Amino acid sequence: MKKRCNRHRLCAVAILTLAGAAPLGAHHSAAAFDADRTEVLTGAVVDFHPDENHVVIYFAPLNETHRSVQRDADGKPLRWRAEFPTGAAMTALEGISINTFKPGTVFTIALHPRRDGTRDGVRTGPVFRCPDRKPPPPGRHCDSVEGHVKAGYGNLPAPTG
């Protein structure tokens, strides 16, 4: 009888161990992002995707005059993807949520871009939200606009090569 109980316990432990390993294996690496480079971009939110593992904001960077967004050769807005290293619950504690970053919201974010050159990056440092209908002057970011809101911790990193 004692051997049967030990086998059941061993099987239960093995099943629980394997079940716990599956989510860990499903989580992806940050190796696709270049941690040695930082891009600081100001743009308008296109879409906000809250997720339990990572928040993703799709946005269109502002053009040089900051009166519109950058566009491709066909006239369509360029679209960037910003991935946050934490999920919706954690980013909401920093003031970053679907309610505070609605479509059209102008904000500044620093990203470690993808190594392959796609318009995609992982957030680093705080995010600055411009006041409604008040983009920064050309060549500046939301942190320079009176009434901006800082979400997250640290300082806005300087862009690098």
Number of domains in the chain: 1
Give me the tens of pLDDT residue by residue for the chain, a chain 161 residues long: 555 555 555 444 444 444 444 344 344 566 789 999 999 999 999 999 998 899 999 999 999 999 999 999 999 999 999 999 889 999 999 999 999 999 999 999 999 999 999 999 999 999 999 999 999 999 999 999 999 999 988 788 888 86
**Structural domain includes residue 24:** no
- Is 11 inside any structural domain? no
The 10 Å CB-count burial string (b at 16+, else e) for 63-89 is eeebeebeeeeeeebebbbbbbebebe
* Domain span holding position 126: 39-151
Task: With respect to residue 57, please indicate whether it lies within any of the assigned structural domains.
Answer: yes
Q: Does the residue 56 lie in any domain?
A: yes
- Containing 58, the helix (H) or strand (E) segment is strand 56-61
Backbone region of residue 125 per phi and psi (left: phi > 0; alpha: psi in -120 to 50; beta: other values) = left
Give the global pTM: 0.79
Query: Is 26 inside a domain boundary?
Result: no
CATH number at residue 136: 2.40.50
